[in-house]
Amino acid sequence: MDIEDMVQAALDLIRHGRYVVALTGAGVSTRSGIPDFRSPTSGLWERANPAEVASLYGFRHHPERFYDWIRPLAHLIFDAQPNPAHLALAQMETLGHLSSIITQNIDMLHSRAGSHIVYEVHGHLREVTCIQCFSTYPAEPLIQEFFRTNTLPRCPKCGNVLKPNVILFGEQLPAVPLMAARREAHRCDVMLVAGSSLEVYPAADLPLIARQSGASLILVNLAETPLDSLAQVVIHADVVDVLPRLAAALESD
């Protein structure tokens, strides 16, 4: 099938789906200027070893290295705006064709685009948590202060370093959103995977859970994924081009 036929096939599945769930990866946010910070080809590892700067062990021993590394990424995230892919998913939710979003992204752009049910399985930059007393605070003002002063964010209560609520290497995924994501994967009858290479686990298991529970899979990604052969519809194209087409067609129904 050509891309037009595949888009129509995706629309047919979404239109007839009783419970459609989206799983999104870094490809949804790259057009907003945010690179895949876990990818060794993104440029974010050129000056740093991830085991040293972006692991839980590394953060506990050298938090200043982590903050020096994340500074440009945090700037990008706080300045980024939702792109047409984020807006299309929010529109699909408003139209009643999308029940929830599971995202591997930490940039909060789905919520800023207007999506209401979003499970952030790799964490987010919305909050920071004290590594000693576990007090939680809004992240942006504290990280912006770090930008201005180059002083590590510290807990007002106990003085220990504050860690952004993003999942580092060697750290378990947050239990609540991960359990919710697995529940959604079992529950859905259509899973739309957008902009994910499906190479980072355990999030990459979610389409398998959905498929084993009888759901149809729609994969939209520029490159091939390990699950292409299991999907009912595979569209190798930019999500920024495909998702707005889906949303527009659903709105015109």
Same domain, residue pair 210 and 91: yes
Same domain, residue pair 149 and 197: no
Report the relative pairing of strands 216-220 and 162-166 from DSSP bridges: unpaired
Contact 110, 89 (CB under 8 A): yes
Number of domains in the chain: 2
The tens-digit pLDDT sequence of the chain (253 residues) is 688 999 999 999 999 999 999 999 999 999 999 987 555 555 555 556 666 778 888 899 899 989 988 888 899 999 999 999 999 999 999 999 999 999 999 999 999 999 999 999 999 999 999 999 999 999 999 999 999 999 999 999 999 999 999 998 888 888 999 999 999 999 999 999 999 988 888 889 999 999 999 999 999 999 999 999 999 999 999 999 999 999 999 999 8
Residues 6+ apart with CB under 8 A from 155: 130, 132, 133, 135, 137, 161, 162
First to last CA, the chain: 23
Same domain, residue pair 195 and 230: yes
Same domain, residue pair 162 and 191: no
Same domain, residue pair 152 and 184: no
pLDDT of amino acid 115: 98
Say which CATH number the domain at 70 has: 3.30.1600.10
Same domain, residue pair 207 and 90: yes
Q: Is 75 a catalytic residue?
A: no
pLDDT of amino acid 249: 97
The model carries a pTM of 0.91
Q: Which helix (H) or strand (E) holds 149?
A: helix 139-149
Range of the domain at 232: 1-34+82-122+173-253
pLDDT of amino acid 46: 58
Contact 189, 232 (CB under 8 A): no
pLDDT of amino acid 209: 97
The distance of Cα 118 from the centroid of its chain, to the nearest Å, equals 9
Same domain, residue pair 148 and 51: yes
Report the relative pairing of strands 136-138 and 123-130 from DSSP bridges: antiparallel
Same domain, residue pair 145 and 251: no
Say which CATH number the domain at 101 has: 3.40.50.1220
Same domain, residue pair 242 and 150: no
Same domain, residue pair 45 and 109: no
The last residue of one of the domains, among 111, 136, 166, is 166
Residues 6+ apart with CB under 8 A from 104: 23, 24, 25, 26, 121, 122, 196, 200, 203
Same domain, residue pair 143 and 182: no
CA distance 130 to 89: 33
**Catalytic member of 75, 122, 124, 236:** 122
The last residue of one of the domains, among 150, 166, 182, is 166
Q: Taking each helix axis from N to C terminus, what angle separates 3-16 and 239-252, rounded to the nearest 10 degrees?
A: 50
